[in-house]
Structure 1
Amino acid sequence: MTNKLLRFLDLHTGEEDKKKVLENVISNISFKGSNLWILACAIVIASVGLNMNSTAVIIGAMLISPLMGPILGAGFSLGIFDFELFKKSLKSLAIATIVSLLVSTIYFYLSPFKEPQSELLARTSPNIYDILIAFFGGLVGVIAVTRVEKGNPIPGVAIATALMPPLCTAGYGLAIGNLKFFFGAIFLYTINCVFICIATFFMVKYLKYPPTKQLDKQHEKRVKYTITALILVLILPSIYFAYKLREQKNYEQNIELFVTNEFKNKGYTLLFKKSTLNTNPKKLDLGFLTKKFTVAEIKVLNKKLIDYNILNTKLQIRQDTTDIKRYILNEINFGKTGINEKDLIIARLENKFLFDQYDNKAILSEVKIIFPEIDNLSISNHTFNKNTDSVKTIPILIYQSKKELPEASKQKISLWLQQRLSVEKIEVYKQK
């Protein structure tokens, strides 16, 4: 039974001739000519995808990228102790990295759209999970390379290990002068490269590829110690980042619970919510459709943050309608808001804020053509049912004339202004 299980799991079954595998790996190491052009084009495509926040475009760029070649070459060369091939692989990888950084930096420098999208931000804070993806992705890659039937794993490995997006993000960081983005993305890229290489090394040793030359025990130990040290250097910061990510997720969950219990469940319509973590204390900004809070109420709510384990945080509730309008529109324009129902919010903003002022002078000149008896007019919004979520804002026209207009004329003005101002309803009254 044990023998059957071992045969079932044996990776030597279906293995390609080792000499052919090595020839294939070596042929994909060099970065010159067509490989370099393909890489440059793939970098531009990936940069556009990150700029547009398009996952499909980024995946397409990863599929055509030839970056895996020198990384697998480095892993194979370490496994067979071919240090000349290892130097050649590192040289090719360095050329590919420099070219990629240069192309992506130029693209993002010239691009008019420099706001960080979610696909970009996702590549700036690597953690332990990225190590797991790189290592097991590398294992799948080298297993596929050593098979007679290559199958489907290679494209999947290119997508999973995601070598291109971190390089493009690093170029973005250089283009906008954000070193935090640059170093975070380069660290993620380094993690991917090193752990794909280490996975390849382990698999080459497991499949017993013959070494090009025999090393004495001391040299062999040195190679193993170097690999172990490299793993520790990369894995310890990644564990720290994973811990910080977990803390951030818990913090965000606590905020969501606080907002749900203290506001949403009480019928207050939340317009926006933004938490700022890089300040001391942290900040939680909230804005509501109609509800106004007193200073005393805000103090009570700040104290309640502790009950939800939201520590070292100051709650700020934006009350001024003009400030809310400016803030939300800015957040939506730059893609920073956490609001999902953006269309609904924009509609509310347009109805509530953007029609607060009308060009009365221009409207009067048009109205006088049809109704010359009107001497003057004023249109403004009037809000009903304040401090409730069924608030209504209705434009009202007040006109001046010697005589009150007939009902038919009022109806005609009302219908015309509904079309003119793109509003559902407008009421017409004579100034008393």
Structure 2
Amino acid sequence: MPIEKDKDATIVVKDTPDQEKYELLKEKIRYKQALRENSKKIDHQKVRLNIQADALPSKTFFIMNALAAVIAGYGLLSNSAAVVIGAMLVAMMLGPISGIALALIDNRWLLFKTALSTLLLGIGMIYSIGIILGLVNYDLPMTNEILSRTQPTILDLMIALAGGAAGAFSAVSPRLSVAVVGVAVATALVPPLVASGILFAHMEWKNSANAFLLAVTNIFAIQISSSLVLWIAGFRRGSTEEVQSTVKEFLKRNAVSLMFLALLGIYLSFNFYALLNTRLYESSTEATISTELNHANNIIDTIQYDKRDDFTLIRVSIRGDIPPSPAQIAALNQKLLPDLNDNPSIVQVRFIPIDIIQAEDSPNVKLEQDEAQKLSVQ
């Protein structure tokens, strides 16, 4: 006869000193297992095979990178950073760069040629897709996501060096996924290549060249940092038997890449210095203009810079009640700093009057300055 549920027997086990010892022993065993998992040695042969496989010009490589280029292209054209980042979930540009890094460290000419050809084919395909997207969507304007990749600086070089090191470390670490880090590294490659193609289709040669330069900078930086991580991890030759390799040997095998990286670093440092000076000049100019013109219910909407041969024309768009006088603008010009070429800065104001319209029987309420600020469309 079955026992009723409310009358079932209940067994109560009390904690004993012996049970606490058993729990402590099990915890120590788990801790030692975790230590063994973290201390696993690098399987050099397996890592080499994985890098070599990813460096091959496979169908998967071209299909996934083509899809990444299309998604990134439309993310750039729609000015969506989220779409651009999401496109990198399918990109596979880290593989051939890691193959080049391993080939230089192991001194393997055949692997170098294979990985380099895969990389060049991938670059050509992605760039071509960018040109096609630019031609198909020729009427769309250049977005901030595209233009932001046309001003490479030394900061981009530092980011690429860190990304390449992370990718190489994930490749040799038994407990890290190279796919996740590959996404971050590909973010620095596919978008600037697609952006350069789109700009090329719009015949914006200078911006296109700058975006392509950003991609090239990232490639060299990722390769150098990957080579360094692999060399430190013990990858010294193309066999299962590792040998000692000096720093001199490392520098010799990566001499060409290091030379290009040094030249790029110098050029990008000048770019960063010029960009920094431009930002400081614009920040100082905008602060002065705001102090002089942004009052009496007048609201500054936009400030644009038009560089001429002998001066910089600063176009200021203002909405408000009372337009500034020519004498005010002349006094403002005297207070502005010269531009980066030591030429005068000249302000030109486009004034848009604001009319307050209400019913005849409505009370006449004055628009205060703080209320005008809230109504401003920046």
1:234 maps to amino acid? L
Give the conservation status (yes or no) of the 8 Å contact 2:61–2:92: yes
Greater Cα offset, 209-218 or 157-166? 209-218
Question: What is the aligned partner in structure 1 of residue 184 from structure 2?
Answer: 159
TM-score, with length taken from structure 2:
0.76
TM-aligned CA deviation for residue 227 of structure 1: 3.2
Rounded to whole Å, the distance in 2 between the matches of 1:219 and 1:185 is 33
Question: What is the aligned partner in structure 1 of residue 234 from structure 2?
Answer: 208
Rounded to whole Å, the distance in 2 between the matches of 1:195 and 1:217 is 18
Q: 1:228 aligns with which of 251, 258, 273?
A: 258
Question: What is the aligned partner in structure 2 of residue 194 from structure 1?
Answer: 220
Give the conservation status (yes or no) of the 8 Å contact 1:50–1:120: yes
Q: 2:51 aligns with which of 25, 33, 36?
A: 25
Question: What is the aligned partner in structure 2 of residue 369 from structure 1?
Answer: none
Q: 2:128 aligns with which of 92, 102, 110?
A: 102
2:291 maps to amino acid? N
- Distance change (3 Å), C-alpha of 1:72 and 1:48: same
- Distance change (3 Å), C-alpha of 1:319 and 1:212: closer
Q: 1:90 aligns with which of 87, 94, 116?
A: 116
Rounded to whole Å, the distance in 2 between the matches of 1:29 and 1:58 is 24
Q: 2:328 aligns with which of 280, 297, 300?
A: 297
Q: 1:243 aligns with which of 255, 270, 273?
A: 273
1:229 maps to amino acid? M
Deviation per residue, 1:210-257 (Å, 9 max, x gap):
313899999866434323312212111110111112112211211231
Rounded to whole Å, the distance in 2 between the matches of 1:59 and 1:129 is 19
- Secondary structure of the structure 1 residue equivalent to 2:336: helix
1:67-146 superposed matches below 5 A = 67-146=93-172
2:343 maps to amino acid? N
TM-aligned CA deviation for residue 163 of structure 1: 0.9
Rounded to whole Å, the distance in 2 between the matches of 1:155 and 1:319 is 50
Q: 2:315 aligns with which of 282, 285, 291?
A: 285
Q: 1:44 aligns with which of 70, 79, 102?
A: 70
- Secondary structure of the structure 1 residue equivalent to 2:55: coil
Q: Percent identity?
A: 22
Question: What is the aligned partner in structure 2 of residue 343 from structure 1?
Answer: none
Rounded to whole Å, the distance in 1 between the matches of 2:89 and 2:216 is 19
Give the conservation status (yes or no) of the 8 Å contact 1:123–1:188: yes
Q: 1:180 aligns with which of 206, 230, 244?
A: 206
Deviation per residue, 1:48-75 (Å, 9 max, x gap):
0000011111011112101111011111
Rounded to whole Å, the distance in 2 between the matches of 1:78 and 1:218 is 13
Give the conservation status (yes or no) of the 8 Å contact 1:254–1:310: no
- Distance change (3 Å), C-alpha of 1:319 and 1:126: closer
1:248-327 superposed matches below 5 A = 248-264=278-294, 267-277=297-307, 280-290=310-320, 291-306=322-337, 312-319=343-350, 321=352
Rounded to whole Å, the distance in 1 between the matches of 2:122 and 2:63 is 10
TM-aligned CA deviation for residue 306 of structure 1: 2.9
TM-aligned CA deviation for residue 148 of structure 1: 1.0
Deviation per residue, 1:254-306 (Å, 9 max, x gap):
12311232122565211322123576422211122133223222111111103
- Distance change (3 Å), C-alpha of 1:282 and 1:167: same
TM-aligned CA deviation for residue 389 of structure 1: 6.8
Higher relative contact order (CA closer than 8 Å, sequence separation 6+): 2
Question: What is the aligned partner in structure 1 of residue 11 from structure 2?
Answer: none
TM-aligned CA deviation for residue 154 of structure 1: 4.3
- Distance change (3 Å), C-alpha of 1:158 and 1:313: farther
Unaligned runs of 5+ in 1: 1-11, 325-347, 356-383, 393-432
Aligned length: 323
Greater Cα offset, 160-169 or 53-62? 160-169
Cα RMSD between the aligned structures?
A: 3.4
Rounded to whole Å, the distance in 2 between the matches of 1:56 and 1:65 is 15
Deviation per residue, 1:311-355 (Å, 9 max, x gap):
53433333465xx9xxxxxxxxxxxxxxxxxxxxxxx7xx78xx9
TM-score, with length taken from structure 1:
0.67
Deviation per residue, 1:91-131 (Å, 9 max, x gap):
10000011111111101110154311111111111110011
- Distance change (3 Å), C-alpha of 1:218 and 1:32: same
- Distance change (3 Å), C-alpha of 1:156 and 1:69: closer
Give the conservation status (yes or no) of the 8 Å contact 1:62–1:162: no
- Distance change (3 Å), C-alpha of 1:303 and 1:218: closer
Give the conservation status (yes or no) of the 8 Å contact 1:169–1:181: no
1:51 maps to amino acid? L
